[in-house]
């Protein structure tokens, strides 16, 4: 968990838990980053992190509304 300047807590995940949340593989997340698609992520040094809010937002953008 990270505390932001505005005082809100934000859950931050490594690749494995993020992949579990999205029901995909770590390799899929890595491929998306190479192709510049998928959920927003953060580079912290040589580490990649995903926020829970960003993962949920990505899932919302993937929703398909049937007619």
Residue 66 lies in a domain: no
DSSP annotation of 47: E
Q: What is the CATH number of the domain that holds 36?
A: 1.10.10
pTM above 0.75, yes or no: yes
Q: From first to last of the 67 residues of the chain, give the pLDDT tens digit.
A: 554 555 555 789 999 999 999 999 999 999 999 999 999 999 999 999 999 999 999 999 999 999 9
Within 10 angstroms of residue 32's Cβ, the number of other Cβ atoms is: 16
Radius of gyration of the chain (CA): 13
Number of domains in the chain: 1
The residues that bridge with 35 in the sheet, in sequence order, are none
Residue 67 lies in a domain: no
The whole domain housing 23 covers 2-61
């Amino acid at each position: 968990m990270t505390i932001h300047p505005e005082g809100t807590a934000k859950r931050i995940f490594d690749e494995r838990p993020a992949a579990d949340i999205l029901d995909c593989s770590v390799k899929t997340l890595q491929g998306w980053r190479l192709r510049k698609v998928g959920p927003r992520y953060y580079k912290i040094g040589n580490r990649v992190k995903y926020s829970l809010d960003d993962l949920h937002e990505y899932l919302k953008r993937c929703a398909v509304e049937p007619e």
